Amino acid sequence: MTEAAHRPEGLVRAVRAAGISDERLLQAVRATPRAAFVPTGHVTRAYHDVPIPIGHGQVTTQPSLSAIMLESLDLSGDEHVLEIGTGLGFQTALLARLAADVVTIEMWPDIAHQARRNLARQGIRNIELRIGDGSGGVPDRAPYDAVIVSAAFPEVPAPLAEQLRCGGRLVQPVGPGGREQVVSFVRTATGLERRRVLTPAHFVRLQGRYGFPS
């Protein structure tokens, strides 16, 4: 493993290899130190393109997979975005560099508190972090221009579709958890429409009132 593989540039190469060409997204990966968003015992793996366990049976999303999902949202920098599943905040930090502001929700309080510290230490301010049931979204901050769901369910929960503005984009792993397809959607005047399958993946399950039972 080269020295560069242990720095953000190693992740940039992995993201490029996954087919990402959006220069704003590549720069966000380059500028965001993943080592600041993983448990201390996993810092040596921070710049490997792998998921990392964070407790409660949860893992971080593989960086190249996060990038595929983020690119599908086609963010220009002016958007109001909802993220379901904060984790330790790495993907949230990328979103904060790509959108105007981010509302993010995490169901595990201890994970959420660590994410809040991680984001604050990096000086990231254009986020609002909630603790609660992400399957129901954050209705008091809707409508959103884009929604990213970092956990799997066989369908898009109705509240998430309802909180997306007309013309807005949503991306979610669709399946039972552990074996799914990441799918992009767009909200139209008649409802949520499936756009395309982005990639196969393995995600934890979306838990909550509109997801799997906890």
Confidence at residue 178, expressed as pLDDT on a 0 to 100 scale:
82
Omega within 30 of 0 (cis) for the link into 213: no
The alpha carbon of 76 is separated from its chain's Cα centroid by a whole number of angstroms, namely 17
Cβ atoms of 184 and 178 closer than 8 Å:
no
Residue 6 pLDDT: 54
State the pLDDT at residue 3. Answer: 42
pLDDT for residue 179? 87
CA–CA distance from 4 to each of 37, 47, 209 (Å)? Answer: 19, 9, 43
Position 180 scores a pLDDT of: 94
Mean pLDDT of successive 10-residue stretches along the chain, which has 214 residues: 61 95 96 95 93 94 97 98 98 98 98 98 97 98 98 97 98 93 97 96 95 91
The dihedral sign for the CA sequence 99, 103, 106, 110: positive
CATH code assigned to 53-201: 3.40.50.150
Backbone conformation region of residue 36, classed left if phi is above 0, alpha if psi is from -120 to 50, else beta? alpha
pTM, two decimals, is: 0.95
